[in-house]
Amino acid sequence: MSSQKTKNTNAPTIGRTLPELRAATGQLRQDPQVTLALVPTMGALHAGHIELVKHAHTVATHVAVSIFVNPTQFAPTEDLGTYPRTEAADLEILKAEGVNLVWVPGTDTMYPTGFSSAVQPAKAAESLETDHRPHFFQGVTTVVAKLFNQVRPDAALFGEKDYQQLCVIRAMVRDLDFGIDIVGVPTVRENDGLALSSRNAYLTTEERQAAPSLHEALQTLSKSIAVGTPIEEAKANAKALVLERGFRNIDYIEVRDAETLSPYEPRSDRPGRILAAAWLGNTRLIDNIPL
Ligand code: AMP
C-alpha cells in the first residue's frame, strides 16, 4: 500500500501553532486509511535527516517532520545560541521529499509560562551521554513525548547516529504505552566515514580532515575485539588513536550491550555496540557502530 502511493508534489502544510497543527492532522485523519510517520528534528537538515524522511515514506502513507531546537536539552554552556538554523532551506528540502506536514512550534508553544512537567528518562539514559550532559535526556524525553502527543503519529523515526537516544525513546514508548512504532535508521556517513551531523558545520578545514578518525578508531576497536583483544586494551588503543589524530579530549569510548546499554559481556551471545563522544577543538562529535 504505502510503497505504491504516489509522491506528494504539493508544498507541505506548515503548522506553527497547536490549532494549525490540529487542523492539519484532523484533516488527514478524516481518511481512515491514512497512517502518519513523524520525523523529529532540530532542523539544519542534511542527508541523514533526508534518509529518515525517505524511510518514513515506506512505513506510513503520510509523513510529518518537526523542526524545533529544543532549549531544555542544552546546558547553559552549550551551543543553543549558535546551533545552525536554516528554516527556508529546510522547507525546500522537505517539499522536494514529498513531506505532507511540517510542525514548527515556537518555544512559547512548547514551553508556555508555568510549564513544569518532565518525563523521567529510562535506565538506558544512565552513563555515557548523561555522564557529560546530565540535563540532556530529560530534555529529549519531555520534548519527544510532547511531539508525540501533539502530532499523534503511528510511527516515528530516529537515527542510529544518536544510538543512546534511540534506546531511551524506545524504552519511554514501551514503558508509557505510547503505542507508536519506533523505527531506527542506520547512520548516514560522508565517503570518508564521518557521520553526518548539523554540528559538522562548526569544524575548521583542518578539523574536518581529522574528524573521520573517530569512526576509524571504532572500526579498529570492533575488529580487535573480534580477534580476541581484551576490551580494556582495545579501548585504550582506540583512545590513543583518536588523540594522536588531533582530538582534544575523549568523553567516552565504550562497549555496551546493544539493547540495554549495560556493560558488554564478551562471552555473551548478545549483540554489542561501541559508542563514543570526543572533542575536536570546540566541537563535540558522537558516533557508534555495531560490535
Ligand atoms: P537532530 O536534528 O540532530 O536532532 O537529528 C534529528 C534526527 O536525525 C535524529 O533522530 C538523529 O538521530 C537523526 N540523524 C542525525 N544525523 C544522522 C545521520 N548522520 N544518519 C542518520 N540519522 C541521523
Q: Roughly how many angstroms between the first and final C-alpha of the chain, as a whole number? A: 35
Going from the Cα of 156 to the center of ligand 1, the distance in angstroms, rounded, reads: 13
The finding on whether 200 has its CB within 6 A of some atom of ligand 1 is: no
Distance CA 7, CA 86 (A): 24
Going from the Cα of 174 to the center of ligand 1, the distance in angstroms, rounded, reads: 21
In 151-282 the beta strands, taken as DSSP E runs, fall at 155-159, 181-185, 249-257, 272-280
Going from the Cα of 154 to the center of ligand 1, the distance in angstroms, rounded, reads: 19
The finding on whether 55 has its CB within 6 A of some atom of ligand 1 is: no
pLDDT tens digits, the chain, 291 residues: what are they?
444 577 788 899 999 999 999 999 999 999 999 999 999 999 999 999 999 999 999 999 999 999 999 999 998 888 899 899 999 999 999 999 999 999 999 999 999 999 999 999 999 999 999 999 999 999 999 999 999 999 999 999 999 999 999 999 999 999 999 999 999 999 999 999 999 999 999 999 999 999 999 999 999 999 999 999 999 999 999 999 999 999 999 999 999 999 999 999 877 789 999 999 999 999 999 999 999
Going from the Cα of 230 to the center of ligand 1, the distance in angstroms, rounded, reads: 32
| Residue 40 CB-density burial (10 A; 0-12 exposed, 13-18 middle, 19+ buried) | buried
253's grid cell:
569510548
For residue 132, which phi and psi values (nearest 5 degrees)? -115, -25
DSSP state of 12: P
| Ligand 1 atom closest to 198 (CA) | 3
215 is known as an active-site residue:
no
Rounded to two decimals, the pTM is: 0.95
Site to probe by mutation for ligand 1, drawn from 39, 45, 49, 194 as the one with most ligand atoms within 8 Å of Cβ, is 49
